[in-house]
Every structure is written in structure tokens, then in C-alpha cells.
């Protein structure tokens, strides 16, 4: 059982919904990013999605793109991202970390080497946006063999014919993308999301967490009420991009987490 599996089992036993936060590793710099990530569990975050900076983030809107650019300009690399996770693990051995990014940096490192390093750093799962199920032998299967969950994205365009393929080797949880398009592009609506979550849950025992388009505590609560939890990324990252102090960002995160936990 991974930390992700254990966390969802714990939440389920408590009758609670999950709050998942996304932050870009190294944004705006290593030390500030580490301080923020260390503060996330105390702000109510159940699972941390840690963005791996990349030069061509095709699924991300301007907010996340700019975060990646800030991180890269501050010297963030794959090695530094894993170092950040390692530092976090020195004080927290229970909060799950899902590394979210693109395949190129992993491929360049070599899958076997990367998986070994990620496991050693305390990474629990991967979301790799540009690897479809047809490429599961590339990373998904080796990752799960190494003890890492491989979290798959389902979207409004994932129809009943496609869904079983998407779910086939998914583990940890299913990330339902509430809108078509890039991150931060539109707002999620619970009335649209609810039936889609129910459709996915009918096909899997995994928790279904909804992300994209959630930017307020009320929205976090509304979305979590029709799913197993909510993910917020762009709204948090925009606070960092605006130069807000870490404490203020964490206060905002807590308000979002409180919303999801109230569902």
C-alpha cells in the first residue's frame, strides 16, 4: 500500500473528502518553494501534487506556464525537484507526493534511473500528461512495479469506449479534468461534473478527484461534494506569481482545503 492508498483509506474511514494542492517545484525559488510545500499539510492538504518544471507544458495555461518559467530561471531541474521532495520527507513521512509533469525529462534521465531516484526521494505517484495508455509499457507498468502509483487523467471527452482503456493500469486515484482545454481556462461546475464522476466511479473502485477550474472555497466544496475530492492548482500558483508571502498563500490554501473538507 502506497502513501496515496493509505491516505484515501484514512479519509474514507473518516467520511471525508480529499483536498489536493498543486504547486510548481522551485517557484519562485527553491527555498520559498520548500517552505511552502512543508506548510501544505498543516494547511489541510491531503495530497501534494508537485509540478516538474518543463519548457513545453502543453496541458498548462499561462499561470502554470509562467510558474514553470520562473522555476527554470531560478535553476530548478529534475535533480533539484527530487531534492525538494527529499528535504520535505525529513519532517513528513505520511503526506503523499504525486509528481506531475511531462515525459521528456524522465525519458532523458532513463526510466529505470528516474524511478529509483523518485522512490528514494519519497515520491509516491506520477501524473505524466503526455503518455497515453497505449504507451503504458514505457513508464506506467515499470512505475507500478517500482511501487509508485500511476495516476491517469480522464476528461469530458473520455467516452464509454475509451474509459476502460484509461482505467486499465491506473492506480492511486483517477484525476478527472473537469473542463476541455488547458489549466486555468474556465470554471468547473458541479452540475456538469457530478454525472461524469458517477460514470467513472461505476467503472472503477479508485477515488475520483476533480481538478481544473476550481478557484474558491465555495467551488472547492461544491466539486468535492460530487466527487471524492478536489484539486486546486492555478488559483494557488497565481498567488505565488503575484508575490504573496508564503504565509498568505498557505492561508488561501487552508480556505480551499476547508471548503473541500466541508463537503
Question: What positions carry a catalytic annotation?
Answer: 49, 60
Integer Cα distance of 160 and 163 in angstroms: 5
Q: What are phi and psi of 190, to 5 degrees?
A: -60, -35
The answer to whether the peptide bond before residue 28 is cis (omega within 30 degrees of 0) is: yes
CA 32, CA 25: separation in Å to the nearest integer?
A: 10
Question: What is the maximum alpha-carbon separation in the chain?
Answer: 46
CA–CA distance from 219 to each of 42, 167, 257 (Å)?
21, 26, 11
C-alpha cell at 26: 522551485
Amino acid at each position: 500500500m502506497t502513501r496515496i492508498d493509505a491516505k484515501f483509506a484514512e479519509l474514507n474511514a473518516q467520511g471525508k473528502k480529499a483536498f489536493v494542492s498543486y504547486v510548481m517545484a522551485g517557484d519562485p525559488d527553491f527555498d520559498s518553494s520548500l517552505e511552502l510545500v512543508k506548510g501544505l499539510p498543516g494547511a489541510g492538504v491531503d495530497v501534494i501534487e508537485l509540478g516538474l518544471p518543463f519548457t513545453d507544458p502543453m496541458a498548462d495555461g499561462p499561470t502554470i506556464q509562467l510558474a514553470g518559467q520562473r522555476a527554470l530561471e531560478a535553476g530548478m531541474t529534475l535533480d533539484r525537484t527530487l531534492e525538494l521532495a527529499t528535504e520535505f520527507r525529513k519532517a513528513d513521512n505520511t503526506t503523499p507526493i504525486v509528481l506531475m509533469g511531462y515525459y521528456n525529462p524522465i525519458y532523458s534521465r532513463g526510466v529505470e534511473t528516474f524511478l529509483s531516484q523518485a522512490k528514494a526521494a519519497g515520491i509516491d505517484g506520477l501524473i505524466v500528461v503526455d503518455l497515453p495508455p497505449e504507451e503504458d509499457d514505457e513508464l506506467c507498468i515499470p512505475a507500478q512495479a517500482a511501487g509508485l502509483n500511476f495516476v491517469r487523467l480522464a476528461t469530458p471527452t473520455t467516452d464509454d469506449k475509451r474509459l476502460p482503456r484509461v482505467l486499465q493500469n491506473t492506480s492511486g486515484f483517477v484525476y478527472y479534468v473537469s473542463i476541455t482545454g488547458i489549466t486555468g481556462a474556465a470554471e468547473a461546475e458541479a452540475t456538469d461534473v457530478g454525472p461524469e464522476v458517477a460514470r467513472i466511479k461505476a467503472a472503477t473502485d479508485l477515488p475520483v478527484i476533480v481538478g481544473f477550474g476550481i478557484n474558491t472555497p465555495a467551488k472547492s466544496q461544491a466539486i468535492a461534494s460530487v466527487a471524492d475530492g478536489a484539486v486546486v492548482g492555478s488559483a494557488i500558483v497565481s498567488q505565488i506569481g503575484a508575490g504573496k508571502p508564503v504565509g498568505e498563500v498557505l492561508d488561501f490554501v487552508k480556505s480551499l482545503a476547508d471548503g473541500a473538507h466541508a463537503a
